[in-house]
Amino acid sequence: MRKSLAGLRLERARAIPLHQQIAQYLRELILGGELSNGSLLAGSRVIASEIGCSRSVVNDALELLCAEGYLEAVDRSGFKVALEPPVCGHQPPSTRSPYRTTPRLRVDQFSNVWKLLLSEDYEINPMSPFSPGAPEIGSFPFDAWARIVRQTWRTPERQLLLAPAPQGVPRLRDAVADFLGSVRGLLCRPEEIVITSGTANSLDLLARMLLNPGDAVWLEEPGFSEARWACSAAGGQLVPVPVDESGLIVSEAIKRAPNARLAIVTPSNQYPLGMMLSLERRLQLLEWAYQQNAWIIEDDYNSEFRQPGNMIASLKSLDKTGRVIYVGTFSKIMFPSLRIGYLVANKVFADIFARGRARIDLHTSTHLQLALANFLRSGLLIRHVRRMRAVYAERHDAVVHEFRHQLADHLDIPTSGIGLHFVAFFTQSLAARISDIEAASRTRAAGVFVQALSQCYLTDPARQGFIVGFGQVQTEAASRLVGTIAACLARH
Ligand SMILES: Cc1ncc(COP(=O)(O)O)c(C=O)c1O
């Protein structure tokens, strides 16, 4: 009996041409073993009337499949299947092909690294007003940015369109060097800079460059989850190191893993707790790295928002032996989806990094880099950063005020510094009643997402609290939003 195609429903609203939809349907039947080798297909007139299209569309599909080797024309009688479906194991015929349309995939079919990455429950919601680290995007000068992006595209240079730039476009590296000098007080040369696709990308590539599987890595506890994931993916052995009011406790780190290859730290504004790494600890850390030939990654994720008179010198600026790699990002001063960041290291390191990176990641979108270089040169970004310092200071004060006012019985908020978030610790009595994960899930159910502090810990016991972003909280909305959180905690 000739095979019909009556089961096919053509979708005319889709962008895929009708003859391609027919061809794809037949390919799947053949590869899935449902149309066996030698089966004769119904004639094109019959098929066309079954599925409701013109005969020429059906003929186009059948001829395409002949050209691809699935079908063969049979004298005057139409087309027959000309392919034995690939057999996979000894499963029943209906499930034996590996080409079935809905493959059943389970995480255990993937690498241990992937399993590890997916094993952790971790909740964020970058759209939430309280999302830590999310900047205010409403005030960004998009008109000017769009003009610059358009100009960059209108006159693309051949070199930029064709040649990879694993270290980053020179014009952007020049502009970033100037930007770091004027906004961050970090003196560096363009050849010491590599443009990356943000801090997460820098950490991933650096972890792969610096760690062998099993190498110990010091990570702040609590700390930045992306650092943890990058090191896990590179096979590193994660060594959580507690922090106190002076930042990472270096003596404890040395006790736990003296031979670590790498330490990842946030010295200017510990993530997420916000303290600064003391000078004594900085010198201790540098000395350890020098003695051990170990590396330090300095994640300086939001120093740009400090007032100039209050700018803390980077750890990198104290490093005389080239063990510190400074990592920065445009995610906070522009927007996170931009995916542009940078690292600063000595010239030889930057060059070796870029050569390896060229093999696995190539480079960050060149045209965006060029647009960003022009944007930085225009002075508009610096102006935006200055304006946002004042906006964030005001929002910080408004949100902290509301938390202290409405949640004094439940949350402690230590004096917090700069940036886009602060931490509100659960009081003992609240922590005895509810975990931060459970509390966060209650506020989420009430429509307000806040991140639980315990997610940033690698080991128990984790301190309980909320990491509260305020970058996106309009001051007028602070009272209402915090009120929702207060109601959730009170009801419990
Ligand atoms: C500690 C820390 N470093 C860096 C970043 C920025 O990462 P990226 O540049 O990958 O967006 C963030 C973002 O929230 C962060 O919290």
Look at residue 404 and tell me whether its pLDDT is greater than 90: yes
C-beta of 266 in contact with ligand 1 (< 6 A)? yes
pLDDT for position 100: 54
- Which residue minimizes the CA distance to atom 4 of ligand 1? 301
Lowest mean per-residue pLDDT among 95-104, 273-282, 394-403: 95-104
CATH of the domain at 443: 3.90.1150.10
- Which residue minimizes the CA distance to atom 15 of ligand 1? 301
Place of tokens 């020098």: 290
CATH of the domain at 162: 3.40.640.10
Domain hosting 163: range is 140-382
Query: What is the identity of the amino acid at 220?
Result: E
C-beta of 267 in contact with ligand 1 (< 6 A)? no
Question: Do 402 and 372 fall into the same domain?
Answer: no
Is 73 domain-assigned?
yes
- Which residue minimizes the CA distance to atom 13 of ligand 1? 133
What sign has the CA pseudo-torsion 85, 89, 90, 95? negative
Interval between CA 390 and ligand 1 midpoint (Å): 21
Lowest mean per-residue pLDDT among 203-217, 242-256, 404-418: 404-418
What sign has the CA pseudo-torsion 480, 484, 489, 490? positive
Query: pLDDT tens digit string along 234-274?
Result: 999 999 999 999 999 999 999 999 999 999 999 999 999 99
Q: At which of 382, 399, 432 does a domain end?
A: 382
Distance from C-alpha of 374 to C-alpha of 363, rounded to nearest angstrom:
19
- Which residue minimizes the CA distance to atom 12 of ligand 1? 301
pLDDT above 70 as % of the chain: 96
Question: Do 172 and 66 fall into the same domain?
Answer: no
C-beta of 230 in contact with ligand 1 (< 6 A)? no
Contact 248, 296 (CB under 8 A): no
Question: Do 326 and 455 fall into the same domain?
Answer: no
pLDDT for position 102: 60
Contact 86, 73 (CB under 8 A): no
From residue 319, how far is each of 152, 195, 285, 339, 488 by CA, in Å?
A: 37, 21, 10, 28, 47
Looking at the structure of the chain, the number of domains it has is 3
C-beta of 364 in contact with ligand 1 (< 6 A)? no
Lowest mean per-residue pLDDT among 86-90, 91-95, 349-353, 396-400: 91-95
Question: Do 182 and 264 fall into the same domain?
Answer: yes
What would the two tokens of residue 354 be? 């870029």
Calculate the dihedral angle through the C-alpha atoms of 270, 275, 281, 282, rounding to the nearest 10 degrees. 60
